[in-house]
């Protein structure tokens, strides 16, 4: 099944996306953020909290006399002058010993003192990536679409039980939803957590606990079960660092989601997403972008060109961070009003268009939510149509729709029914898309061509106006944000001439121009 679309229009969309990202890349190159610096501290081995529960990475970055020079210089100077480890430096800081002034320590001594700690972090990330490759080789998954299920109780131990049950019912990917509004916290909570509203806090210990449980059930089932969490919000790069250290497999990681839907400052977000994606590229973590959210705040038919345009922009940002196509899980959703005549044809057009525009990307397809009601039988049927669209257009990551979506947080039984629905449809129609042809000039093809053309026009306008100005002008999701407004703007740091981030340097050879 192939759409006859204008390949030059696809190439033009990529050229516009590159032109959109280029000026933002220049801004990113000249700036850091407090979250990036805390990520560096965490990668160097700083962990734990002080007596007031404040994470030590926050304490260290907040104590910098010269934030524009970066935390690595101050830590390197302190290590060189005292012989302490990064963790010991942080502990001493809390006890009242200030960080050393890097201006008084030779640059070579700073670099030499940090080198073994940088090497250890990169070796750990590489080892975790190698572990994943071994698991996938020895415990291969069934073919895509990979069935993705959410757990979100607020209690990591309850989530662990639910995740194992979902895996046993057929889930291939488990996502732990974050506690409501964690994206707005400018710190990462510490330790295992048992309370959370609407989800469970993303912490390194929670990552470790869930990873261990899924590894155990993977061995029992004979197939690797993947783990997903969220690298978004004010701690985007920190979460990416922790996920890399604990072998998460996927992270929700979008270039504009936090700006549009959480009112996080766009300059902060662009810098944070770049460093998080540098880490993800090294760790082999698949990112999931958030274009599906556009369809929940505005009409899905009207917003289709914006979804496609955003996918091209997200791809361009990811390439800038050295991410290969195989790690760029671009998002879309089955959110057209089910009462619309031929809505299914429009859904197929959108999904197949994304598949052909991004042939090597592990596309993530999101289920219907906006038009779900308390009628669970109708909802189950709509989910079946969503499942059919996914398998016939060869989507890769498939978030299973829940028949009780509009009623309550799904029970284990609801997840089992959703998985059974998906398994049935994807089994009985596994090669349906390979056996049919789309009518030339038919409704599906004409819709796809119209969406592609409108997306190219939209990208051309954004390239001319600039991405920050376009966001302010409500081009995406009918939401306006100011370049200097929103949460976290005070955490943006202009780099000085002597700024240094050894991880940025180590990962830069992997980046694409």
What are the catalytic residues?
257, 292, 364
Residue 149: CA atoms inside 13 Å, Cβ hemisphere, count?
32
Give the separation between CA 355 and CA 202, rounded to whole angstroms: 31
CB 468 within 8 A of CB 27: no
* Element housing 89 (H / E): helix 86-94
Residue with tokens 């002008």: 473
Residue 123: CA atoms inside 13 Å, Cβ hemisphere, count?
7
Helix axis angle, 412-428 relative to 156-168, nearest 10°?
Answer: 30
What residues are paired with 175 via a beta bridge? 150, 228
CA proximity to 203, closest of 224, 164, 230: 230
Do β-strands 31-33 and 250-252 pair in parallel, antiparallel, or remain unpaired? unpaired
Give the separation between CA 504 and CA 338, rounded to whole angstroms: 47
CA proximity to 233, closest of 181, 179, 277, 302: 181
Q: Sign of the C-alpha dihedral, residues 221, 223, 224, 229?
A: negative
């Amino acid at each position: 099944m192939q759409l006859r679309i204008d390949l030059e229009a696809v190439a033009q969309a990529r050229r516009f996306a590159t032109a959109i990202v280029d000026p933002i890349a220049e801004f990113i190159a000249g700036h850091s953020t407090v979250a990036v610096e805390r990520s560096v501290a965490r990668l160097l081995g700083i962990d734990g909290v002080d007596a007031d529960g404040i994470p030590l990475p926050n304490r260290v970055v907040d104590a910098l006399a010269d934030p524009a020079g970066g935390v690595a210089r101050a830590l390197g100077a302190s290590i060189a002058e005292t012989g302490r480890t990064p963790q010991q430096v942080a502990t001493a800081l809390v006890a009242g010993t200030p960080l050393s002034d890097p201006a008084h320590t030779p640059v070579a001594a700073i670099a030499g003192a940090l080198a073994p700690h940088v090497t250890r972090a990169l070796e750990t990330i590489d080892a975790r990536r190698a572990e994943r490759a071994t698991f996938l080789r020895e415990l291969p998954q069934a073919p895509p679409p990979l069935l993705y299920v959410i757990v979100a109780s607020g209690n990591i131990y309850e989530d662990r039980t639910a995740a194992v049950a979902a895996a046993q019912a057929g889930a291939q990917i488990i996502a732990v939803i974050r506690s409501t509004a964690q994206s707005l916290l400018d710190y990462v909570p510490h330790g295992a957590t048992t309370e959370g509203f609407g989800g469970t806090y993303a912490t390194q210990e929670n990552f470790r606990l869930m990873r261990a449980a899924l590894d155990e059930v993977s061995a029992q089932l004979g197939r690797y079960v993947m783990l997903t969490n969220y690298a978004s919000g004010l701690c985007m790069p920190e979460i990416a660092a922790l996920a890399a250290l604990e072998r998460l497999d996927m992270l929700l990681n979008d270039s504009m989601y936090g700006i549009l839907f959480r009112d996080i400052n766009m300059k902060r977000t662009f810098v944070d997403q770049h460093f998080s994606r540098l880490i993800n590229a090294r760790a082999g973590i698949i990112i999931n972008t958030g274009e599906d959210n556009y369809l929940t705040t505005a009409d899905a038919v009207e917003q289709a060109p914006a979804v496609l345009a955003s996918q091209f922009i997200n791809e361009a940002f990811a390439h800038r961070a050295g991410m290969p196509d195989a790690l760029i899980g671009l998002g879309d959703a089955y959110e057209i009003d089910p009462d619309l005549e031929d809505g299914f044809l429009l859904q197929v057009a959108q999904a197949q268009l994304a598949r052909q525009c991004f042939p090597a990307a592990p596309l993530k397809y999101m289920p219907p939510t906006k038009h779900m009601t308390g009628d669970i039988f109708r909802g189950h049927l709509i989910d079946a149509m969503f499942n059919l669209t996914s398998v016939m257009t060869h989507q890769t990551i498939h978030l299973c729709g829940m028949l009780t979506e509009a009623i309550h947080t799904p029970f284990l039984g609801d997840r089992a029914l959703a998985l059974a629905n998906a398994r049935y449809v994807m089994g009985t129609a596994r090669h349906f898309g390979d056996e049919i042809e789309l009518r030339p000039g038919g409704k599906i093809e004409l819709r796809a061509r119209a969406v592609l053309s409108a997306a190219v026009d939209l990208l051309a306008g954004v390239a001319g106006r600039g991405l920050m100005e376009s966001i302010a002008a409500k081009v995406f999701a009918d939401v306006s944000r100011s370049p200097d407004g929103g949460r976290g703007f005070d955490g943006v740091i202009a780099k000085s001439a002597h700024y240094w981030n050894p991880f940025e340097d180590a990962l830069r050879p992997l980046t694409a121009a």
